[in-house]
Structure 1
Amino acid sequence: MAKRIILLIILLVIGDIYFYQAVSTLTVVPGMAFLYWAIDLGLIFALSSIALVPAFRARAKDYLPWLISALMLSLIPKLLASPILLGEDIVRLLTGFAYRNIYVSEAALLIAVGTFLIMIFGLTRGKYHYKVRRETLYFPNLPTAFDGFTITQLSDIHSGSLKNKRRVQQGVDLANAQESDLILFTGDLVNNTAEEMKPWSSTFGELRASYGKYSVLGNHDYGDYVRWESQQAKSYNLQQLEEVHHEIGFQLLRNRSMNIHKGNASISLVGVENWGKGGFQQYGDLNRATENVDKAAFKILMSHDPSHWTEQVIDHPQDVQLTLSGHTHGMQFGLDLPFLRWSPIQYFYKQWAGLYQQDGKYLYVNRGFGFHGLQGRIGIWPEITVLTLKKAKVSTSV
């Protein structure tokens, strides 16, 4: 963590020095320079303390999310505005012009202010700005009885980060308003401990679906990011979390499967424990989870980490038609427009948000209901996914 913090400090200093050129061009107000540097020097001091002083680092988890948010508010507007200043500097270098153009500095400042305001929205209201995203998926081997069957997927609630009961209730009400046949939750109910769900059990217990509610665990649910006094304490926490799933009406699938029946037909619902690459836990056992599943059955897999899909699911002997994941949050930061999707998370995860298809198999990556780390969502809004399963017509033409 210390190396990453040092890198952030370097970026902050470079961004500050460069962007200050625009600020100094536009104003000579006494004290402006002091105010400008005092804010960022405070951030640099706080970050340096965490990186270099073990005592601060041990307590950093209590305030680090807010420090990250403040850092992004300071750094990102400057970084986005700096290319304008860089372009001007290139022109000045080629033409030998010594002074900055005040209009260029104004343009850079307007971009920075606009970005800052958008980020303020994301850090305040954006984290509860729930969006329903719909997809209709066609499968040739879907049982006819399930033609038109609907699934609401939720993921990454991260109850330890939630604060606003009224807004969270609106998200739960919006999920219920979809009136889906099935509700599936794909992991990370908490940040670290089962205790975090106490204020929220009654709220999420209101989720309703006619064919039931099912869930799996995510990487945060195991308590692996907490220093426990003993292994027994950690195991007890996980046991408590299992009980929470039961209390709110979810059937937790830990490397096992079950059938969803509709009339005389059925589909197989498979749930694995967390399996992720890049240093994440690999508790998931797809072989074990599918050992009692008919190979010809239509299968829906819940697996928290989308990297599991490419690493194991696609080429698995059991033909899994649909996989549902979460985990990435879309990094809670980026552009998520119909004509442009970008987030820094895409450099770490090939499948990071929305629908993907390969070899006739689908993966849907939910952007998450809650938030963690960054105390908000900027451009990547919290998601309620509604999937409609349709039976594809098989062509009989030669």
Structure 2
Amino acid sequence: MNNLGSLIFLASVLLFTTFLNWYVFQAVKTLTSNLDSDKIRNSINVGYWLIFSGISLWVILTFIGIFSAGEISATRQTALNVFLTVLVTQLVIVLILFGEDIFRNLQAGFSLVANGSKDFTFPTRNAYVSTLAIAIAAFPFFSFIYGTTYGKYNFKVHKEVIYFENLPDAFDGFTITQLSDIHSGSLRDKEGVRKGVDLAVRQNSDLVVFTGDLVNHKAEEIDPFLEQFAEIKGKYGQFSILGNHDYGDYISWPSKSDKEQNLENLKAKHAEMGFRLLLDEHVRIEKDGQEITLIGVENWGVGFVKKGDLSKAMEGTPEDGFKVLLSHDPSHWDEEVKKNQNPVHLTLSGHTHGMQFGIETPLVRWSPVQYRYPNWAGLAEEKGRFLYVNRGFGFHAFSGRVGIWPEITVIELRKAN
């Protein structure tokens, strides 16, 4: 982000947080107006502004630090966590107060039409509405507290059984464990990571795949966790690809050669973990004299780096053969993969993290990321071609997860009757 863009962003954050602070203060002021003691009332009001203005200043300084260093340290992660927790909580309160304001303005308009301006007073805020707003906002507030402490290591196994007509008989019941978006530079708790690794090991799958973003920026970020992830094995091997963060594009490097060396170091880390990194290439997985093709491409994403070369990766693969593709960004499936003349039966992606925030219940499934990615988590299908989007193992920027929990995926391939 250039200097002008940074200034515009910082000014926008300051204006928006100030607006939210002022609007939420209307609820606080309504509730404190009933207090008998002026001293207590004034202390609460002043304390409110000191706390929330301080948070706004902390956030601005945090963004300045991120723009300057190009990295998100543990301290800056904490600031971003506080910022997002307060932001979502305040937005809930503001939405309720805004609904009340619409009603108050309508009420005032009807009063003016019916009675004229004589003895007119604008309707005051209802203390019960302000109390309700704060009470409802407590739910997202405590959800974010949970998400930044325990939720980010609340690993879930998602299992999918997918049926294919042309799956070789030998692979009927073949299982694939998928991990994605480890973002090791954000991980601080080895015991928390251990929970996810143990869960992946216990799946005892035939094949293990990792679909990109091993690190945030630098290859050495994975060093504290190398031995743990090296424990995850598949009977037929472990394979991986690169994600957009793995190229080191989002920070400044002393020289071009330093950046290039970092990528080479990262490639070596995959091998140290026991994963074969696929760089626009394919391998054949053989079982009982039959085979399927596993294809891996470099990152290709709309709005992100487009290094992946699908044609190169698929060169020499038979059209009638069963193919599984590892491609980090699900927009690749939408733009290229599902339209490819040489059919790819199953694509495994990640990248979205489900935005680490949302609601997934049998009745409601929502995340802000759906406005950017139509396929942002779980299984999608079009004309017999399938896409599975993993919600991610780790996290980035926001050091937490709320409603969209970290995921280990297990895909079972089945032969359709």
Q: CA deviation at 1:189?
A: 0.5
Separation (CA, whole Å) in 2 of partners of 1:64 and 1:391: 49
Deviations 1:23-45 (A, max 9, x none): 11223534222222222222332
Separation (CA, whole Å) in 1 of partners of 2:256 and 2:395: 28
Partner of 1:291 in structure 2? 315
Equivalent residue letter for 2:105: L
Partner of 1:396 in structure 2? none
Closer, same or farther: CA 5–146 of 1 in aligned 2, 3 Å: farther
Separation (CA, whole Å) in 1 of partners of 2:331 and 2:227: 32
Please, which of 46, 50, 63 is the counterpart of residue 34 of structure 1? 46
Separation (CA, whole Å) in 1 of partners of 2:358 and 2:196: 21
**Aligned pair 1:147/2:172, yes or no?**
yes
**Aligned pair 1:363/2:378, yes or no?**
no
Deviations 1:342-372 (A, max 9, x none): 1111111111111111121001010100000
Q: Secondary structure at the match of 2:228?
A: helix
Equivalent residue letter for 2:373: Y
Q: Secondary structure at the match of 2:175?
A: strand
Q: Secondary structure at the match of 1:257?
A: strand
Q: Secondary structure at the match of 2:336?
A: helix
Partner of 2:111 in structure 1? none
Separation (CA, whole Å) in 2 of partners of 1:148 and 1:60: 45
Partner of 2:67 in structure 1? 57
Partner of 2:89 in structure 1? 77
Separation (CA, whole Å) in 2 of partners of 1:307 and 1:80: 31
Partner of 1:331 in structure 2? 355
Separation (CA, whole Å) in 1 of partners of 2:66 and 2:24: 30
Please, which of 265, 278, 299 is the counterpart of residue 290 of structure 2? 265
Q: CA deviation at 1:288?
A: 0.5
Q: Secondary structure at the match of 1:319?
A: coil
Separation (CA, whole Å) in 1 of partners of 2:384 and 2:298: 24
Separation (CA, whole Å) in 2 of partners of 1:169 and 1:67: 26
Deviations 1:56-92 (A, max 9, x none): 7313633543332111111111111222222222222
Residue pair 2:70, 2:250 contacting (<8 A) in 1 also? no
Partner of 1:161 in structure 2? 186
Separation (CA, whole Å) in 2 of partners of 1:126 and 1:248: 26
Report which stretch shifted further, 227-236 or 190-199.
227-236
Equivalent residue letter for 1:378: V
Deviations 1:266-295 (A, max 9, x none): 0000000001111x1111000110102112
Any residues of structure 2 matched to 1:1-398 within 5 Å, and which? 1=1, 2=6, 3-27=8-32, 28=35, 29=40, 30-49=42-61, 57-59=67-69, 61=71, 62=73, 63-96=75-108, 98-278=123-303, 280-393=304-417
Q: CA deviation at 1:112?
A: 1.6
Separation (CA, whole Å) in 2 of partners of 1:298 and 1:378: 37
Q: CA deviation at 1:49?
A: 4.6
Separation (CA, whole Å) in 2 of partners of 1:57 and 1:217: 25
Residue pair 1:333, 1:377 contacting (<8 A) in 2 also? yes
Equivalent residue letter for 1:90: I
Q: Identity over aligned residues, as a percent?
A: 49
Residue pair 1:50, 1:60 contacting (<8 A) in 2 also? no
Separation (CA, whole Å) in 2 of partners of 1:307 and 1:56: 28
Gaps of 5+ in 1: 394-398
Aligned residues: 390
Q: CA deviation at 1:234?
A: 1.4
Q: Secondary structure at the match of 1:314?
A: helix
Residue pair 2:179, 2:393 contacting (<8 A) in 1 also? yes
Higher-Rg member (1/2): 2
Separation (CA, whole Å) in 1 of partners of 2:368 and 2:106: 33
Separation (CA, whole Å) in 1 of partners of 2:101 and 2:313: 60
Separation (CA, whole Å) in 1 of partners of 2:396 and 2:103: 42
Equivalent residue letter for 2:159: R
> Normalized against structure 2, the TM-score is what?
0.90
Closer, same or farther: CA 297–56 of 1 in aligned 2, 3 Å: closer
Equivalent residue letter for 1:17: W
Residue pair 1:49, 1:57 contacting (<8 A) in 2 also? no
Separation (CA, whole Å) in 2 of partners of 1:287 and 1:60: 34
Q: Secondary structure at the match of 1:293?
A: coil
Q: Secondary structure at the match of 1:202?
A: helix
Separation (CA, whole Å) in 2 of partners of 1:126 and 1:136: 27
Deviations 1:117-173 (A, max 9, x none): 111001111110101111111110100111111111100000111111111111111
Q: CA deviation at 1:48?
A: 4.1
Residue pair 1:5, 1:48 contacting (<8 A) in 2 also? yes
Give me the CA root mean square deviation. 1.7
Separation (CA, whole Å) in 2 of partners of 1:92 and 1:255: 61
Q: Secondary structure at the match of 1:372?
A: coil
Residue pair 1:355, 1:364 contacting (<8 A) in 2 also? yes
> Normalized against structure 1, the TM-score is what?
0.94
Residue pair 2:215, 2:222 contacting (<8 A) in 1 also? yes
Equivalent residue letter for 2:374: K
Q: CA deviation at 1:209?
A: 1.4
